[in-house]
Amino acid sequence: MAEVTIEFEGKTYTRQKYYWVDAQHQQAPAQGEIDRKYYKQFLDETHSVQEYIDLAGEFRQNGSLGYAAKCFQYVLEHGTTEECRIYYPCLTSLYREMNQPQKAVDLEPIMEQRGALTHVALTSIAAAYCDLGNLNEAKKCANRAMAMNHGTADQELIAVFARIKKDK
């Protein structure tokens, strides 16, 4: 993204990497409030799906997880099936990070309907079921993820199976 500046409480802040800084390159004390203002301005303009993806990454890096989730939701509503396959797992992980695992679980039928359900997404959903204490659904989801991945489990899925076994 191009350099972005914003006026906030009488000062001009510039987005550097993932944070807002003032003219002396000091990090702004109100990152979340500036992110809120910036997100509102961003919504008033026309942007590509890729720009939403980029902004979601920036918000995630600076800890504005709610805004990152909103950007990923836009991507999933307007993106291609391939973009959805890539970014649904990002959104499910964000929901889990925000202590909202039910929202991650609720995405499964939507992913299925869009043809965007992958073993990576199912692994994240299985972990969300673990977060909710629903180990039976977690195991079903984890088994389905392994089947989608030709009977093999990657490191994340191995960790989910270990968690299911430990928590039983």
Residue 20, SS3?
strand
User: What's the confidence (pLDDT) of residue 134?
Assistant: 97
Domain boundaries, the chain: 80-168
User: What's the confidence (pLDDT) of residue 3?
Assistant: 79
State in Å, rounded, how far the first CA of the chain is from the last one: 47
Q: Mention the CATH class of domain 80-168.
A: mainly alpha
Taking a C-beta distance cutoff of 8 angstroms, is the pair 158, 121 a contact?
no
User: What's the confidence (pLDDT) of residue 80?
Assistant: 94
User: What's the confidence (pLDDT) of residue 17?
Assistant: 79
- In whole angstroms, give the CA distance from residue 57 to residue 115: 24
Q: What single-letter amino acid sits at 103? A: K
- In whole angstroms, give the CA distance from residue 123 to residue 129: 10
User: What's the confidence (pLDDT) of residue 62?
Assistant: 86
What token pair was written down for 66?
A: 């709610």
Q: Which residues of the chain have pLDDT under 70?
A: 1-2
User: What's the confidence (pLDDT) of residue 168?
Assistant: 79
- In whole angstroms, give the CA distance from residue 32 to residue 34: 5
User: What's the confidence (pLDDT) of residue 1?
Assistant: 53
Q: Which neighbouring-strand residues pair with 8?
A: 11
Residues 37, 42, 44, 48, Cα dihedral to 10°: -170
User: What's the confidence (pLDDT) of residue 2?
Assistant: 65
